[in-house]
Structure 1
Amino acid sequence: MNESLCIRNVRTPGSSEPMDMVINEGRIAAIAPGEAERNRTLATVDAEGMWVIPGLWDCHTHFTQWSYTLGRLDLIGASSAHEAMDMLRDHLSQLRSEGRLDPNRFVVGMRFRHSLWADDEQPTLAAIDEASGDQPVALSSADMHCGWVNSVAARMLGVQVGESGLVGELEWFDAYCRLDNAPGADEELDRLLREAEHDAASKGIVGIRDYEMAENIDTWIGRFAKGINGLRVQSGVYPERLNQAIDDGWHTGDELPGSNGLGHVGAMKLISDGSLNTRSAYCSTPYSGIEPETFGTMSYTPEQIESYMFVATKHGFDIACHAIGDEANTIVLDCAERTKAHGSIEHAQMLKPTDIPRLAQLGLAASIQPQHAMDDRDVIARFWGRPAGIPYAFRSLRDAGTRLLMGSDAPVAPLDPWLAISAAVFGTESSAREPFQPEQCLDFGTALASSTAVGRKCLKAGDAADLVLLDRDPSAVDSPEEMRAMPRHVQATMLAGRWTYRK
């Protein structure tokens, strides 16, 4: 049971006036000067002038896969296939020395970014077979839209690979999910989930939207039953599981049993097209520098997308529709308009100018991942050299009245709202590099509000007691380096009136 208490001497971003905040039954009962004096019987915490902000949300995660990054080989730093294989050899050597290699268990790596590697440094089956031998190895790309596997893993997963060793999109989605059912995976995952929740709380995170490719509803009911309860969770449902969810009586917003109000059913997550890094996002103009000419691919036909949206909307589900290429976004918006679907467009990564105002007109939010713009700015120059749309149109969407929801798409980018806020505000990861599309940068207040459940930068009486105490005013930060370092200034995180992190 959450105790009633008063947090004294807190300040809101941009303000020097100290206030007191009364917490009762998991909600903010009052926030104003002098509340500590009026509530002298309550337990008191003196914040000593720290700044308080609403608890942060990551509105697009694959939480299981993010948790695995805390225990799997991370290849994000590899700048070539050769370097990635050196990292794999070192990882295998370490596992071997620790007695943790089992020829019947996959060694899994994540987040290689071959879209930026030179043409003669691309993945090959020969290279990964030479580095791994008889040990099954499966590596996932940074955007999770393809995998690089050795011959042993390909046989175990039942996938066909050519000279590249790459497994494409939909086949990889299915194969990657099967890795989670390998021997010993359950025990490893429970440990990593708890570690990931603690890591999230240390950054001020109180909630996530989880779009893991799994039976998310039952999965999170089971996790809450085990006491994995450090976050609020909205659990998405994929189209292939939508009818079962409907038959089971679920709707978006329903509370998950045993979650004590922390878990709810989320939206139907539908992936309409591919990704930029795999050159499969569906565009109206061809990719530059690619032969033979390609426009990307759709994962479903427009008729299928419309049908899924219709069924979801009819049965009380929001949509969360992945659309990256400009043509995919047009198709998805057309389907949403015809079905009167509500929810969000996930990524909305490149939009035709005529489509930018349509999200607000249709009542759809734009679920954006600003760190992707930092990761992709050089890829955009390489493969979207002749775009028909505007990539990462954050400011244009906001100016059109669209509600912005910010996230990471973890593990594609780290689960860290401060990275997203920094990327959205400064448009660069380093003060030494010019901003990417400075005209699309957001002000701090908008970026922070878009990273919260309340949609504003300050808490009010009646809000859930989800909050973060900081020893620095984030609104006064004036460089990307300092904003990205803000997790170091998180002193405490509270979820529904209980501390989930105290430094």
Structure 2
Amino acid sequence: MMAFMGTSLNILNALVPGGDERVDLVVRDGKITAVGPAVARPDTDETIDATGLWVIPGLVDCHTHFTQWSKTLGRLDLIDAKSATEAMAMLRAHLDARRAAGTLDPDAFVVGMRFRHSLWADDEQPTLAAIDAAAGEQPVALSSADMHCGWVNSAAARRLGVHADAKTGLVGELEWFDAYTKFDKAPGAAEETDRLLREAEKDAASKGVTAIRDYEMAENIDTWIARFAAGIDGLRVKAGVYPERMEAAIAAGWHTGKPLPGSRGLGEVGAMKLISDGSLNTRSAYCSKPYSGITPATYGTLSYTPSQIARYMRLATEHGFRIACHAIGDEANAVVLDAAELTHARGSIEHAQMLRREDIPRLAALGLEASVQPQHAMDDRDVIDRFWANPAGVPYAFRSLHAAGTRLRLGSDAPVAPLDPWMAISAAVFATESSAREPFQPEQRLPLRVALAASTEVGRGYLRSGDDADFVLLDADPYAMETPEAMRAMRNHVAMTFLAGRRTY
């Protein structure tokens, strides 16, 4: 069923970015039925004069953990902590504020997000003793910025049933992924989650976002059916499925692209999301060369054996699922590409953070997209110098992948980076967050035209007749932005956002 049947809308005199062309848009039943000069129709429900505004397709974030991103709007955010000492000071202040407000339940988890210990000095790393001293018997669980490990106190470890390292208090990879889902089952968590989800959808719409791909580590299909039924419907959603849930999804008749009941055309089943290795920041991305400065030598880890990866890809492909395969280290990317070639899987490589030069053209040759997060390059540029000082491949090879013919899709991996396409576009185009700092790997910068297109579902920076009526009106031309600061500020220039012809901002 089409979304929002019966709606009709004219948009008049909108500018096309990068030039002085003006167009009208005609919207009927959630679709754009005409685009061009003076094509407006008299028989519409509403007419908006867009003189002085620029129009682009709705923006998409192609890699989110949307529930966890939503929770950052209400949880302790440690992204600015530059040491374990600072993180614990922020935790103490948070606990004190909660106590003073009467909102600290001694039986409920206090959850923090986005600490970046990979950038902390060796003598300022997480310890179990430090978090126990700060939190006492209040169960506290802090998630790293890349979500690949947690820092928990003893009280939280007991309640979660996890094995926190006796020295560091860290819990890693699959054990942490499983533990993290337990926070959503606490008393009152469902009501808080719904409230924050609605806030997160409004926040996304204010930045021009109309669609996400959600790879939350949960049962996403039933979850999003329930959310649409509850009126959480401010975005188009492709709901990913993890390997361990594939057989149940197949038995239920799901496949990639199948509409979610009750979503009015806004929700559909997404790809099978498989995490092949860890991350750079936790030194668990699987590489062919050892991490620099680490003793004893470590190469990272695979989350599944190569044969298991191939088996899951074959299962997905045979039952109508595309793949979305997380691969960060060069060795993990090689393993994943080999498996895709063997099984004829289609879909995307998520992150593709380090690729051997000979593997760069393989994505296009295999018909795979590269779903990349340019802001990660900004966050990781100093970590790369520290732990990938002698890489076996090319980190963040955006321009090389584009030149090889690979379709790029941009995203955030929120909450690892903020859900903000303008931040991703800026990072891809300028390769620096500040005009005062030199670009990181300037040879890998993308043209703005390419970065903007990779941030839309339609794969271009302009609208056509027949497109879904997902579009954004801006009060500034993105092509006129000449600095990273100006491009990042484009989120403040979103005048209106429309989803299937319905105004969401």
TM-score (norm 1): 0.99
Match of 2:8 among 4, 8, 14: 4
Give the one of 220, 224, 248 matched to 2:252. Answer: 248
C-alpha separation in 2, matches of 1:209 and 1:75: 25
| Aligned with residue 386 of structure 1, among 390, 398, 408 | 390
Equivalent of 1:289, from 286, 289, 293? Answer: 293
Q: Report deviation, 1:40.
A: 6.4
Q: Work out which of the residue numbers 54, 65, 68 in structure 2 matches 1:51.
A: 54
Alpha-carbon distance in 1 for matches of 2:118, 2:110: 23
C-alpha distance after superposition, 1:100-139 (max 9, x if no partner)? 1111100000000000000000000110011111110000
8 Å CA contact 1:2–1:498 kept in 2: the answer is no
Relative distance call for 1:419 and 1:129 in structure 2 (3 A) is same
Letter in 2 for 1:203: K
**AA of the residue aligned to 1:135:** Q
1:138 paired with 2:141, answer yes
Counterpart among 457, 460, 478 of residue 456 in structure 1: 460
Aligned to 1:329, which of 318, 326, 333? Answer: 333
Query: CA shift at 1:2, angstroms?
Result: 4.7
Matched to 2:155, the amino acid is V
The answer to whether 1:301 aligns with 2:311 is: no
Moved more, 16-25 or 402-411: 16-25
Report the Cα offset of residue 44 of structure 1: 1.3
Shift of 1:43: 2.9
> Could you report, residue by residue, the CA deviation over 1:2-22 in whole angstroms, capped at 9, with x for unpaired residues?
521211110111121222111
Aligned partners of 1:195 and 1:477: how far apart in 2?
A: 28
1:39 to partner: Cα distance: 3.3
- 2: CA distance, partners of 1:245 / 1:155: 32
- Equivalent residues in 2 for 1:419-438 (5 A)? 419-438=423-442
Are residues 1:312 and 2:310 paired? Answer: no
d(CA) in 1 for partners of 2:429, 2:478:
12
Q: Determine the C-alpha separation between the residues in 2 that align with 1:157 and 1:426.
A: 42
Counterpart in the other structure of 1:229: 233
Distance 1:139 1:444, change over 3 A: same
Contact 2:8/2:44 (8 A) holds in 1? no
> Aligned match of 1:128 in 128, 131, 134?
131
Aligned with 1:97 (options 97, 100, 120): 100
Partners of 1:142 and 1:182 lie apart in 2 by 22
Map 1:351-430 onto structure 2 (within 5 A): 351-430=355-434
Q: Which amino acid aligns with 2:346?
A: H
Quote the residue 1:63 is aligned against. Answer: 66
Query: Quick one: structure 1 residues 358 and 497, their matched pair in 2 at CA, closer, same or farther if it must change by over 3 Å?
Result: same
- Counterpart-to-counterpart distance in 2, 1:39 and 1:370: 43
Question: 1: CA distance between counterparts of 2:368 and 2:200?
Answer: 30
Q: How many residues align?
A: 500
Extract unaligned runs of 5+ from structure 1: none
Q: Following the alignment from structure 1 to structure 2, what is the Cα–Cα distance between the partners of residues 19 and 323?
A: 42
Cα distance, 1:353 vs. partner?
0.2
Structure 1 contact 194–228 (Cα < 8 Å) conserved:
yes
Encode CA deviations 1:161-182: one digit per residue, 9 max, x unaligned. 2110100111101111111111
What residue number does 1:238 align with?
242
Please name the residue that 2:112 is paired with.
109
2:52 is paired with a residue of what secondary structure?
A: strand
1:391-438 CA deviation, whole Å, 9 max, x = no partner? 000000000000001000000000000000000000000000000000
Distance 2:6 2:206 in 1: 20
| 1:41 Cα deviation after fit | 5.8
1:192-213 CA distances to partner (integer Å, 9 max, x unpaired)? 0000000000000000000000
Partner of residue 156 from structure 1, selected from 150, 159, 171 = 159
Instruction: State which of 475, 483, 486 in structure 1 corresponds to 2:487.
Output: 483
| Matched letter for residue 264 of structure 2 | N
Contact 2:15 2:51 (8 Å CA) reproduced: no
Q: Is the 1:418–1:486 contact (alpha carbons within 8 Å) kept by the matching residues of 2?
A: yes
Alpha carbons 1:78, 1:112 under 8 Å: kept: yes
Secondary structure of 2:456 counterpart: coil
Match of 2:217 in 1: 213
Following superposition, which runs of at least 4 residues in structure 1 exceed 2 angstroms of deviation?
Answer: 38-43
Please say if residues 209 and 236 of structure 1, whose CA atoms lie closer than 8 Å, have aligned partners that are also in contact.
Answer: yes
- Compute the displacement of 1:188 (Å): 0.3
2-structure distance, mates of 1:324, 1:224: 33
8 A contact 2:374–2:425 mirrored in 1:
yes
Contact 2:10/2:44 (<8 A) preserved = no
- For 1:192, the aligned partner's letter is L
What residue number does 2:89 align with?
Answer: 86
Tell me the alpha carbon deviations over residues 427-477 of structure 1, each in whole angstroms, 9 at most, x when there is no partner: 000000000000000000100000001000100111110000000000110
8 Å contact from structure 1 (residues 2, 497) kept in 2: no
Is 1:31 the counterpart of 2:31 in the alignment?
no
Per-residue CA deviations over 1:201-256 (Å, capped at 9, x if unaligned) read: 00000000000000000000000000000000000000000000000000000000
Deviation at 1:49, TM superposition (A): 2.3
* Helix, strand or coil at the partner of 1:356: helix
Q: Is the 8 A contact 2:10 2:46 kept in 1?
A: yes
Question: Secondary structure of the equivalent of 2:81?
Answer: coil
Gapped runs of 5+ residues in structure 2?
none
Residue identity in the other structure for 1:9: N
Q: Does 1:500 align with 2:495?
A: no
- Corresponding letter in the other structure for 2:269: V
CA, structure 1 residues 137+2, in 2 after alignment: closer, same or farther (shift >3 Å)? farther
SS at match of 1:48: coil
Do 2:140 and 2:155's aligned partners in 1 also have CA atoms closer than 8 Å? yes
| Cα 1:245–1:40 shift into 2, 3 Å | closer
- Alpha-carbon distance in structure 1 between the residues aligned to 2:138 and 2:34: 59
| Contact 1:217-1:265 at 8 Å conserved across structures | yes
